[in-house]
Amino acid sequence: MKRSTDRILTTHSGSLVRTREIIEGMKARTAGRPYDEAVLAEDIRAGVLDVVRRQVEAGIDIPNDGEYARRGFMGYINERLGGLRARAPEPEEMVLVPGRERDRFAEFAELYDRYFRVIYMYPEISMDEVRDTPSIVERFRLTGPITYTGHRAVQTDISNLKAALSGLSVADAFITSVTPNFRQGDRDVEQYYATTSLYLYAFADAMHEEYKAITEAGFVLQLDRASLSADGAVESMAQGVEILNHALQGIPEDQVRYHHCWGSNNRPHTEDTPVRDVIPQMLKIHAQAYGVEAANPRHEHEWMVWKDLKLPDGKILIPGLVSQSTNVVEHPELISWRIQNFASVVGKENVIAGVDCGFSQYWDQIRCHPSIQWAKLEALAEGAALATRSLWNQ
């Protein structure tokens, strides 16, 4: 994994807003309506070619495929596994504002759940049609032991990204993948596994297949979905790290980066766990780089935590310096200031400028307007250039 040895490198967190054609195809696939699989595959291939080029033009040094082939950053994996069957989610499983935050801001939560997925859709896509299309179903029951069946799909991801990178100058490129731990609400686990823990280790073995394919292809593997959470199937942060490291056995640490966030929808975030409580376990994950939210105003001040908690030698920090959950485009000088704050506590060569989270969580949930997504990435690159001039006295 490249470091910021002579300038601040830039990257982002994974998902970028899909094209209108891809959204239309995924909408039909999600709803079980007729669609042309070959046409959707070609739309994805063409979309990846374009989105990688646009990232490089915006100044992103470490791009990805925008997760264009995936209907959701987490739910995609259910299409690559054997032993699962979709079930209808319960009403309480469809909410976007969780727990005590929902209780405190009940009126906001009700409106947010109702309108968030349609706010920034392309004008050519009917809002009524989106509302009538089921959202991503991520609730399942087991029908047998978990197996990985996504070999062809991940190879397509790899081939599309390799083709898109041809002729472009980049520092690295990454492909995202989920962690094994966040399996909320999977039913009938006890019919095939004696304990939930055994189930999660089996899930880790399945995910290892995807991790291995990505890294053997020469890409950086980004692990998505917080392993450091006890609100899924895992009981503690320590257990989450242990299971994830099991999945990473044999995977080169210098090809792994971990992205931690607090579910970065545009909501109050008053119940987020402080990053100080997360870091000790996060640093035990067998990765070289760690991404954390730092533009979210509930977490921006937390760069100061690194004055007390040392970043281990050889590790890299990827703080989010722009937010995906607001349409305000951050000023490059603000981004430069944020970068220099982190550089002052962990060293400039150990900082890569990133984004808090993905710009498009699911095919039907765009967090900010597509045009603003690119303005934010351009501002990130401009801010990194300003910080470079200051930090290297250029």
- Residue 341 pLDDT: 98
Domain at 9-391, CATH from 3.40.50.12280, 3.20.20.210, 3.30.43.10, 3.30.830.10: 3.20.20.210
List own/partner pairs for 104-112 with CB under 8 A and 24 or more apart. Answer: 104/268, 104/270, 105/267, 105/268, 108/267, 108/268, 109/267, 112/265, 112/266, 112/267
Express each pLDDT in 126-138 by its tens digit: 666 666 665 555 6
Express each pLDDT in 300-323 by its tens digit: 999 999 999 999 999 999 999 999
Q: How many CB atoms lie within 10 A of CB 262?
A: 21
Give the span between the Cα atoms of 163 and 45, in whole angstroms: 9
E strand map for 325-366: 352-355, 360-362, 365-366
Q: Assess contact for 353 and 380: CB atoms under 8 A.
A: yes
- Residue 280 pLDDT: 92
Q: Which of 20-24, 70-74, 123-127, 198-202 is the least confident region?
A: 123-127
User: Predicted confidence band at 284 (pLDDT cuts at 50, 70, 90)?
Assistant: very high
- pLDDT, average across residues 40-68: 98
- Residue 41 pLDDT: 97
In a 13 Å sphere around the CA of 369, the CA atoms on its Cβ side amount to 7
Express each pLDDT in 63-82 by its tens digit: 999 999 998 888 889 899 99
With a CB cutoff of 8 Å and minimum separation 6, the contacts of 366 are: 17, 119, 120, 121, 359, 360
What token pair was written down for 195?
A: 């304990």
Q: What is the mean pLDDT of the chain?
A: 90
Q: Assess contact for 388 and 352: CB atoms under 8 A.
A: no
Percentage, residues of the chain above pLDDT 70: 90
- pLDDT, average across residues 150-178: 98
User: Predicted confidence band at 185 (pLDDT cuts at 50, 70, 90)?
Assistant: confident
Domain residue ranges of the chain, discontinuous segments joined by +: 9-391
Give the span between the Cα atoms of 29 and 382, in whole angstroms: 39
